[in-house]
Amino acid sequence: MRIHTDERRENAALYPLPKKICIVDDDDAVRDSMGALLGSYGIVVEGFPSADEFLACCGRSADCILLDLHMPNMDGLQLLAAMRERGFLLPVIMITGRGDDQLRSRALLAGAYALLYKPLEDSELLRCMACAMAAERRENPTSSGLL
């Protein structure tokens, strides 16, 4: 991921971003680079290397979840289903290094706001997060993300 100072200021002014996000991805480099990018916008980032670790900590104080689709043991679709069963209504943006239209359809039907492909463009990720947050506010103006 690239961080461009001028672009960062422009995007921050145009798109209200979440205050805290959780990144669930088994790739340390992805978690670190996304964490650095989002941290540069003042977003608090909590990273989890597995679905099991995320579920153990719950991440209930986050505003948005960035969730890798392909992970060992429990994949992103399984984690999303487990989250919904536990009452998580937070916006979820799924990310993957490989995928197709059928996979995108499955992710959206499972309740993901979007499926983005790695490598992610900084501006695309930020816009998607802001749009997911705006959609959540419109649908649940008093929601805390839980049932």
Amino acid present at 121? E
Give the tokens for residue 76: 């992103």
Here the CATH number for the domain that contains residue 129 is 3.40.50.2300
144 assigned to some structural domain: no
15-26 mean pLDDT: 90
50 assigned to some structural domain: no
Q: State which residues form the domain around 93.
A: 5-45+58-69+78-139
* Segment 27-86, tens digit of pLDDT: 999 999 999 999 999 999 999 999 999 999 876 689 999 999 999 999 999 999 999 998
Name the pTM for this structure.
0.83
100-106 mean pLDDT: 87
8-19 mean pLDDT: 60
Look-up of token digits 């597995």: 50
146 assigned to some structural domain: no
51 assigned to some structural domain: no
From 65, 82, 71, select the one nearest 26 (Cα to Cα).
71
Number of compact structural domains in the chain:
1
**Banded model confidence at residue 6, pLDDT cuts 50, 70, 90:** very low
- Whether 134 and 114 have beta carbons less than 8 Å apart is answered as no
Give the tokens for residue 46: 């909590």
Look-up of token digits 């480099």: 29
